Structure 1
């Protein structure tokens, strides 16, 4: 099983510009303003007024919800080709979560009003935005189901399966997750500790289920991860 109860919730990772013509890509870039962030710098804070979206060119962005208790629930990590912002990408409602640079990153800010005009003028841009929002919705739905219905061990196994489906590249008899995830990243996503994740990954590696080398995860026995998840 996946993070969620159905494999239909996850598909290969789409980029906003994937499938767009060069002309449409140039139109999007023309309304953009580049912004560089160091690790730990905020893109925005929960409750800030939305103004548009940020297309990631380099680096990695972490989105998380801050509970009234102060606890942070990591929702996702976003990579080059993704955008952060939404769900009200054209409007001025409040941001529902915080986004922060997990490492040095370069973004392109696209203001909501200009983005809306382009979406009205170009059906392909409008569809690309809808596809990206649909992917985000599937990710957040999968995360909510995982956190609400699984034990911590099941959450780790589900997350590894999820990553193999979204970021995985088949190489021989294994699946290499094409984006780097540290032990801390994985712990944030499943609501656990880095130390616990380190122990569990070492166990899975000893059992020949995965290989983990410098933040690169290779899945060697995908079916084993799914055992007991039905």
Structure 2
């Protein structure tokens, strides 16, 4: 069972060409750094098969259905979760109940930071955006593992560094870009990650609702719906079978460079 799980992780962390990335295999975060699109290197990418088996033996597998909470903002923290399948949405909730999505993390990534051991409380929440399987690595066991396996320690440091840069970039975008700019930027990013050729343009082959998009750009669902309707009237985008087709990426490029809503 553990060997099968190790092989599963090995397959999931193998390098994948950008053209082959799908909605199930690419992380999503709002960033202007093109090198960050698609997510960080998988946590156990540099581990040997034996090292991966050692790590997985200390883990506790958990299966979640879509919408199920993995960890909650303010709850006691204990270790991290390695994503084996599906996708985890990580988000912050304000005292007034407003949500901002920090990222969607995919297979090979870990969630539950920035603390990775067994102290403090969670700074944000994580929920299953699709049916998921994760491996919980408790803080005490994880601390012992990083002392034993240097490659795992390096993977944690690289992952935390990546997340820190991305969350900093998100804060900068929220503070310096208008909502319209952020929406245009996100649509172009979705095209790059999930774009599939369509007679009318490029269809975003991923299931993101208007509420999902709103949580990514820091707007309301109503604002996103109205904005996409206006874009459709101008033939910039087209809604087809609940999916968004980008018809004029050149105009979106201009929009994300504008200074006002």
Residue 123 of structure 1 corresponds to 150
Is 1:78 the equivalent of 2:132?
Answer: no
Q: Which residue of 2 aligns with 1:29?
A: 56
The residue that corresponds to 2:10 in the other structure is none
Give the number of the structure whose alpha-carbon radius of gyration is greater. Answer: 2
Higher RCO (CA-CA < 8 Å; seq separation 6+): 1
Shift of 1:95: 0.9
Partner of 2:19: none
User: How many pairs align?
Assistant: 227
Residue 178 (structure 2) aligns with: 151
For 1:38, the equivalent position in structure 2 comes to 65
Q: Which runs of 5 or more residues in structure 1 are unaligned?
A: none
Query: What is the aligned counterpart of 1:132 among 159, 177, 188?
Result: 159
* Match of residue 36 from structure 2: 10
Q: CA RMSD in A?
A: 3.3
Q: 3-state DSSP class of the match of 1:181?
A: coil
Compute the TM-score of the two structures, normalised by the length of structure 2: 0.71
Q: Deviations over 1:3-61 (max 9, x none)?
A: 55x53672442322334322222222111111122333221221112101111222222
- Structure 2 spans left out of the alignment, 5+ residues: 1-28
The normalised TM-score by structure 1 is: 0.79
Contact 1:3–1:145 (8 Å) recurs in 2: no
Q: What secondary structure is seen at the aligned counterpart in 2 of 1:227? A: helix
CA contact (8 A) 1:181 1:215 kept: no
Distance 2:77 2:121 in 1: 6
Cα 1:169/1:114, change in 2 over 3 Å: farther
| CA deviation profile, 1:163-193 (whole Å, cap 9, x unmatched) | 456x45797xx88867543332111111223
- Could you tell me how far apart the structure 2 residues matched to 1:79 and 1:215 are? 23
Structure 2 residue 77 is matched with structure 1 residue 50: yes
